[in-house]
Amino acid sequence: METMTNRFFTSIDLNDHPLSHSKLPLKVSYFSLLKSFAENVYENELTSETLNEYKKMFDISSVPELSASEAFSYLLRPWRRKNLILLRYDLNLINCPFNVDQQKLKFEIMNHAASICTKSQYKTFCRCFEKKYSLRSNDKLSEFGNELKLQSENNRKVLSSNCKRMIITANMSSGKSTMINAIVGKKIVKTAQEVCTGNVSYIYSKPFEDNHIHMVFDKPTINANDEELLSNDWDKKKYIATYFNLSFHQNERWSLIDTPGVNSSMNKQHGRITRSTLEQREYDAIIHVLNAQQLGTDEEIAHLRWLKKHVQDRLIIFALNKLDVFNSKEDNIDSSMDLVRADLEKIGFENPIICPMSAYFAFLLKKKKLGACFTEDEQDEYDLYVKKFKRSAYDLSRFYPQIQIKSNDDEFTVLMKKCGFYGFEKVIFGAGKLIKQYQNQSSVSKPEIITEKNAQVNSNQEDQKAELPSSKSQQQLSELLEKLETLSDDINRGKLNYEERRFR
Ligand SMILES: Nc1nc2c(ncn2[C@@H]2O[C@H](COP(=O)(O)OP(=O)(O)OP(=O)(O)O)[C@@H](O)[C@H]2O)c(=O)[nH]1
Ligand SMILES: [Mg+2]
């Protein structure tokens, strides 16, 4: 991933911008000046796209912009000067120079101002900009732009907290991607009956909902659409940042890593990508998804053994998914849980944490809660699952001792608890302590845990680490192995003649 700055991980909600309903000349002047500052003070690769969002919000897309000095002259009129107070807040949101102290930011702003206005304008600008710094709390002006300021503070707070990283792994079609969509509450990664995740996707939580999905795939964007999000290009990794609509409020940074299924015989590279990502250990915990429709297969056991052998220094949480397909006459959820536990213990996982669930129903529940439209099929499935999970045999909340259904829970919460996903979210988003325990116990040398103080550096690390020589040579080795495999297949099938064999 190319150099990515804080802006990729932050939110901006412009709906209540103090100038959104102002007169056109003020909006155009303010925007023109803001643009000049944004492009010159700590600009980043998303600045121009973010500025476009301001243009849309001001509804000035078809109006010609002013030069910075014209805009300055307009805004420096005594009765308009207060609007300059907003400049710093908006710049904080657009360019997010969180790792730069406010005095330095002020200095950069002043510096740029000096370069675009006359001496006397500069003096006035300094005076009114300075005034901002000496505003008393009981001064009415001090509340002007407060909403923008709060957004910046929220971004800064969340960005400076530790990012917990969870990698999701399983055999193909177990529901890894569905689980991620259910956590986020939106379809941001592709799901399908056939193999559909062919490379790794990194999904980061944003501090608050602003209805923008950020993505780096071909190029960075803050407006990823469905087509881009769900595209099937397996050559590249995807990086996505969006707000996570969890069942309950939490204020930390999270990243989820979606991986390809490890057992595709048609796409052996998928298993290698996942295993090499697991071996890089750039995550704090593993969620292993077990498909309740295909329990105890040889491939499942093989991957579990691999995990036990290669990444036992990490906390592993097991998700038993697709329990909605169980038929109460033929299947028994309790005995399946017991069997899974016994299998895991046989492989060597002591006291495994097993979270039973229906990720797909949880996804539908969140979709409905957030007011998204269902397709006809989704509506039918939703109605069926509501009926099913209301029956006590399917109430999965009984497997989560800390989860109780309360009399004042709304229907969404009750069903989220019954389908197991509420409890699962509590387990994974409350896993901080367990993760620490693992890290303390682990005798294997650990990679640096991302301390989001350097959030900017952080985002780059994801990719930079992937480019480290060790992982590069691992990749080369994988490619070589794949070539060898194809070659030996061809030889076995007698496909190659002698010359071909010699020169291949
Ligand atoms: N009934 C039911 N179906 C589910 C559930 N979770 C996922 N599915 C379905 O299972 C299929 C595979 O789901 P995915 O989320 O794409 O699985 P995956 O593990 O990401 O698959 P790959 O990336 O291809 O390895 C899709 O058709 C999903 O709708 C669930 O909880 N219940
Ligand atoms: Mg997938």
173 lines ligand 1 (CB under 6 A): yes
Smallest CA-to-CA distance from 402 within 415, 420, 384 is with: 420
Closest CA to 416 of 333, 371, 374, 358: 358
Whether 360 lines ligand 1, by a CB cut-off of 6 Å, is yes
Is the pLDDT at 249 greater than 90, yes or no? no
For 457-484, the pLDDT digits (tens) are: 333 433 333 333 334 444 544 455 455 4
Tens of pLDDT, residue by residue over 81-137, are: 888 889 889 999 999 988 888 888 888 999 999 999 899 889 888 877 766 545 445
Residue 176 beta carbon below 6 angstroms from any ligand 1 atom:
yes
For residue 307, give every residue at least 6 positions away whose Cβ sits within 8 Å of its Cβ, in sequence order, or none.
169, 278, 286, 288, 316
Per-residue pLDDT band for 193 (boundaries 50, 70, 90) equals: confident
Q: Nearest C-alpha to atom 2 of ligand 1 is from which residue?
A: 322
Q: Which of 168, 171, 177 has most ligand 1 atoms within 8 Å of its beta carbon, as the pocket-test mutant?
A: 177
Q: Taking Cα atoms as reference points, which of 359, 386, 407 lies closest to residue 247?
A: 359
Between residues 391 and 442, the one the model is more confident about:
391
pTM score, whole prediction: 0.84
Contacts of 265 (CB under 8 A, 6+ apart): none
Task: Give the CA distances from residue 194 to residues 171, 197, 198, 246, 257, in Å, rounded to whole numbers and listed in that order.
Answer: 12, 9, 11, 27, 20
* pLDDT for position 493: 42
Contact between 302 and 332 under an 8 Å Cβ cutoff? The reply is no
In sequence order, the β-bridge partners of residue 115 are none
Nearest CA to ligand 1 atom 11: 193
